[in-house]
Each structure stands twice: as structure tokens, then as C-alpha cells.
Amino acid sequence: MNQLLDDLIKVMTLERLEMNLFRGESRDIGSPQVFGGQVLGQALVAATATAEDRVAHSLHAYFLRRGDFNAPIVYEVDRALDGKHFSSRRVVAIQHGRQIFNMSASFQSPETGLDHQIPMPDVPLPESLQDIESHYREFADKLPQAARRVLEQKRPFEFRPVEPPGSLRRDKSAPVKHIWFRTVDKLADDEALHRCLLAYVSDFHLLDTALRPHGVSLISPQLVIASIDHAMWFHRSVRVDDWLLYAVDSPSASGARGFTRGSVFARDGRLVASAAQEGLIRVTA
């Protein structure tokens, strides 16, 4: 397995301290704090470990404080409900004695029922698109050192954007983005693992979509941007080691907050998941 992906699997493999208590490590991905998707994914791993034979179908989370990637994170799971078909869990992430994150997640035993979905957007296939790293190399020398450190980090996922990335954008555009993604190597046939990794990667490429109508650059020194909350719904089985399309839009920005939502489609057109996020978007003087 690819070394970067193997390391991500290790990060997502938590140490079980007690029946409902887990501990996880962090990785520095170039940002000044722990990547929010890592905490989201690890929290889902912890919750999943207490909901045997059921798969996650939704989660709702709040980012409370910045995480320190130099210290472990402890995840405490509350087994709120184990019903006939559904299980509910609440997870609190603790670091340095304080809550940094909390999440509620719901799990369901497999069932069949009514089935419909919205159509997949008509966009170019990933094979016809450049990897996002190729786009960044075109203007890397114009970026501040801090921004280069983030963008030049090698990832366990590859991303191929339909629209060119907007790190240097100053022109206003529609609050819409489409980007293909997948892991850089194959994974085991483990539905729970694929859903937890999808939660991890869902935190990429969401919030900056709310900047597009305003001509604001993601790396602008006047911009303060951070995730506030994150929600996901898992609709159908998913493999993150095959191409997935993230179709993202931002219906609203107001009150120094931006709201974004994303639909995740499998290559065969199935809608496998949906996500929504609101974040702080504050432009200072």
C-alpha cells in the first residue's frame, strides 16, 4: 500500500483505552492546527467501534477549539441508544483537559425501501483533468511560504478539479465547485472504513466555495476562515478508492459565516453521500 495512505489508516486506527474510551494520534498537514477532517473521521471510527453490525447513516458535529497535532486526542463515546434498527452515539473529543469537538452519529441495520436520487452533474471524467498539484505548481512561486507549505503537502488522496483551483482568485464567480477524488491506492473491502475515510476527506474543498462570489482569496491575509460545524448523510455503499465526484455549492454567506453543501457521487452516477458545513468567514480591515 502507498506509504501516505498506510499512514492515514494508522491515524484512523484508534487505541482502545476502555470500552467507550479511545485515543488517537494526529498528523501535521501544513495547517497551524489539527485538520478538522481528521477529528471528524476519528470520532466516527470511535463511534463505529461501539455500534457492532450497524453502519453510520448520518453525523452532526461541532468544532469547538483548535486541535494540537503534537498531543493525542481522547474520544469518549456515549451509547445513547441501541434500538431494534438504529443506534445513536455521542462522541466528545478531549485534548489538554478541554473539549475540542463533539459529534452525534446514528447507525442503522441494513434495510431496503423506497429509492430515488438527484442526477449526477454532467462534468468531464477525471481521466481528462489535471491533478490539483499540477495547477498549484503553475503559481506556487507567487504564494506566501505558509500557503506553499499547505499546498505542497503530499496527500493520501488525489484530487482532480473540474474548475481551476481558486487560491489566487480575485475575479468573482458562481459559488459552485466540482472535484473528483479518490485514495492513492486500493483499500480493503470494509464499508465502515470507507465511510470513515469519506468523512475525513469531506472536509476538503467545502468552505472555500463560499468565497467565490466575493473575489476573496483563500490565502488573503485579511481573511479568517475556520469550520464551525459539519454534517454528513451516507445514502449508499461507497468506495473511496474509486473516483468520486464532489459537487459543492454555497447557497448563502452572511453574518461572517459561509454555508456550503456537497453531494458525493460514485463514478456510476449513484449519490452515495451528502455533506453540509458552516464556517467562519471574517474579512478584517
pTM for the whole structure: 0.94
Phi, psi of 96, rounded to the nearest 5 degrees: 55, 35
Based on its alpha-carbon atoms, the radius of gyration of the chain, rounded to whole angstroms, reads 18
pLDDT at 144: 66
- Residue of 227, 250, 263, 274 marked active site: 227
Helix (H) or strand (E) holding 228: strand 223-234
Q: Annotated catalytic, 173?
A: no
Quick: pLDDT tens for 207-221. 999 999 998 877 777
Q: Annotated catalytic, 145?
A: no
Q: Annotated catalytic, 95?
A: no
Quick: pLDDT tens for 263-273. 999 999 999 99
pLDDT at 237: 97
* Whether residue 167 has pLDDT greater than 60: no
Residue 247 to residues 27, 168, 181, 197, 263: CA-CA distances in angstroms? Answer: 27, 21, 11, 18, 5
Angle between helices 3-11 and 191-201 (to 10 degrees): 100
Give every CB contact of residue 120 below 8 A, 6+ residues apart in sequence. 245, 247, 265, 269, 271
Q: If you average pLDDT over residues 163-192, what whole number do you get?
A: 88
Kindly state the percentage of the chain with pLDDT values over 70.
93
- Residue of 42, 104, 203, 208 marked active site: 203
Kindly state the percentage of the chain with pLDDT values over 90.
80
Quick: pLDDT tens for 13-23. 999 999 999 99
The domains found in the chain, sorted by start residue, are: 3-109+129-283 (2.40.160.210)
pLDDT at 150: 65
Q: If you average pLDDT over residues 86-111, what whole number do you get?
A: 98
Evaluate the CA torsion angle 12, 100, 16, 78 in order and state its sign: negative
pLDDT at 5: 97
Specify whether the CB–CB gap between 36 and 191 falls below 8 A: no
pLDDT grade, residue 151 (50/70/90)?
A: low
